[in-house]
Chain A
């Protein structure tokens, strides 16, 4: 009888161990690092181009070089954190990523191209347009998923409008820093909320 009890205890211990390890591995919480990486990218990028990097080709090289480091770090997060997940969790994350960030990147590049080719459009407004769209996206996600994102969307929208009215000259630096902060907070929220 004592043997039976001992065996039952051992089995319960084994189950607990397996369940805990699996839950830990399954947590998509690390996926938020992608947003944090790109938030830091915004900060370092804008700090570098504001303080040390002269405008023109060097600025392009600076942002592109940083972008490659960001891509490498993103690749590492995908490889070690997202790829080993079961299909359902992976799909959930990838759907969120593609539905939100891919259209946003397309929009950003389209706006940049339009500003280059259409003489009537000023470069000054690119960041403002993008931030308004991002803030709307955050509000939409906020209504559907996490209320933290709704608040971030409202704050982002208000800050963008205020910057456009009162600090248009400095909108690049203000909104890049704001965007960076937003991304880092998004990463923290994702890491916290997606702990399964």
Chain B
């Protein structure tokens, strides 16, 4: 049973920081790197690592631009990311309902 439940949970999202990132992006559709950093209280390096994991899985897209000569990184959730997130939430609900 335990093994079955773990298989159902998406390992990419099943991590506190990445779950936080996805929860924000699913609502906002997009967010700046600094916004996520502030909201989740993460360091630059830590956030970059988590974003790369999500980008590799094609759950988010990262776009780097320059605004007034300052670098700006915008993260946007993809359709695949939205679907994965909603499946993840569904699976969490199943776990809560299945275990008495």
Contacts and interface: CB of A to CB of B under 8 A. Distances in A.
A23 B27 contact: yes
State the main secondary structure of chain B at its contact with A: helix
Interface string B14-39: 10100110011011111100010001
Contact of B95 (A8, A14, A87): A8
Interface residues of B, number: 24
Nearest to A84: B35
A15 B19 contact: yes
Contacts of B27: 18-19, 22-23, 26
A86 B74 CA distance: 10
Contacts of B95: 4-5, 8
B57 interface: no
Contact of A22 (B2, B24, B89): B24
Given A4-B2, A4-B5, A14 B20 contact: yes
B5 A15 contact: no
Interface of A is mostly: helix
A15 B23 contact: yes
A194 to B, nearest CB: 15
A56 B29 CA distance: 53
Interface in A1-43: 1-2, 4-5, 8-9, 11-12, 14-15, 18-19, 21-23, 26
Contacts of A19: 23, 26-27
Q: How large is the interface on A (under 10, 10 to 19, 20 to 34, 35 or more residues)?
A: 20 to 34
A5 B92 CA distance: 8
Contacts of A11: 14, 16, 19, 92
Interface string B86-100: 000100110110010
Contacts of B1: 1
Given A15-B23, A18-B24, A18-B39, 11 more contacts: A8-B92, A12-B93, A14-B23, A18-B19, A18-B27, A19-B26, A21-B39, A22-B28, A23-B27, A86-B28, A88-B30
Interface of B: 1-2, 5-6, 14, 16, 19-20, 23-24, 26-31, 35, 39, 89, 92-93, 95-96, 99
25 contacts: A4-B5, A4-B6, A5-B95, A5-B99, A8-B95, A9-B96, A11-B14, A11-B16, A11-B19, A12-B92, A12-B96, A14-B16, A14-B19, A14-B20, A15-B19, A18-B19, A18-B20, A18-B27, A18-B39, A19-B27, A21-B39, A22-B23, A26-B27, A86-B31, A87-B30
